[in-house]
Structure 1
Amino acid sequence: MYKAVIFDLDNTLLNYDLCESDSMRLTGRKHGLERWERFTWELFWEAFAPINWVYWSERIERKLTIHQVLEYSFRDTLQRLEWDAVHSVPLARTYWEHFCELCHFEDGAQELLTELHGSRKLAVISNGIGEAQRKRTASGNIAHLFDAFIISDEVGFLKPDRSIFEIALGELGLDRTEVLYIGDSLEIDGVGAGNAGIDFCFYNRGRLPVQGPFAPQYAIERLSELPAVIASRG
């Protein structure tokens, strides 16, 4: 029997993509980006997205704070599009403020948490930034539902390192055989759970083919399907 369910956060319980796009549009509105010469959102995102991904991916190796990741991403984007990079710092600050306030849920996430709360322990393991993850779940009024809330930048380990899962098990006071982990990434969430010897449920939100070396124990396409997976263990 599963005595606890541990969730990934972004694109599992929370819709990261929508939070990101809404935060950026609110930032653009405040700073008047849409009035800039030649500005279109398509042009901006085409430049920003790959730049931001590189800085985010290299943040640990380069010892970058999230504020530096954002400032450098905006700076390089503005330079590439031949706009004044002096705006990068205020844009980054405004974006982060909005992002930390927004909590857009994946379909069925609130209902799922309400259904599971009280019947077993709930927890989060996220590779995100503690400030944002804690503020967003508080904004969505779900922070109080979790018995453990493990964020990579607060504990010093990133999924798929088994250590971050072991920290969660310690806080929950449970054995690895008593918990189920659910996340949207086979390579990060699935491999991490496997490294820790924890059963894994793949939230296949993109409805991708599930096969090969990363094939999970369970796979669902809607969060509403998770209770049936849990019940299968008795």
Structure 2
Amino acid sequence: MKRKVMLIAAAILTLSITAGCQKQKAENIPKESESISGIDIKYETETASSGDDDSSGLDVRLDENRIILEQSFHAELGDWGDVRFVSYGPAAGSDFEDVSFYLMKNGKVVFAFPFYGENNKTDQYAGLFDSVESVAFHDVNGDNIKDVIVIINYITGAGPQGMEPRPKARIFLADKKGFILAKDMTDDVNDHIEEKDMSMGHIYDYLKNK
């Protein structure tokens, strides 16, 4: 009888130690995401895809201070659903870094728009980034899916008005995987619409009549 009591006590002690180890293991599991400057960034790198899978995310860290709030908007974009379009300014003191654009959903970056210049630099085509003038979500190629049009101001430093901001359009066409940079369309618009006339209305009219 005494031996039986000792065996039961030993079993209880073993179960207590095992439970304690399991609790410690669970508490040491790393969290899926953490908050960086108020924005949740998912650690796993995944291919950005449209659709209803809210778990998709990119391993991109955004500095909240660089988000251009007045040119960042919530929008319904095709299969993406309700997303936040984010205009993201260059880092302070960066040489010829361009603005960049992202889609966020549920606090996570789900799509990074392609750059215009190599390594997102502006020295070969635009000068210094000044500001994002306007953003629009509008179907410009007749496929009934909203595309993204942005007008960006740059300072070229050339000529008597070199320090005056000069607008350039940028067009991203929606496809099943996200958005592609419509470089030929973008260059066509910039080549044929005068800077003084660069507006969303003039861009729509020009492309509609192509």
The higher radius of gyration belongs to 2
| Fold agreement, TM-score > 0.5 | no
Considering fraction of residues, name the structure with more helix. 1
- TM-score category (smaller protein): under 0.3
The answer to which structure, 1 or 2, has the higher relative contact order (CA under 8 A, 6+ apart) is 1
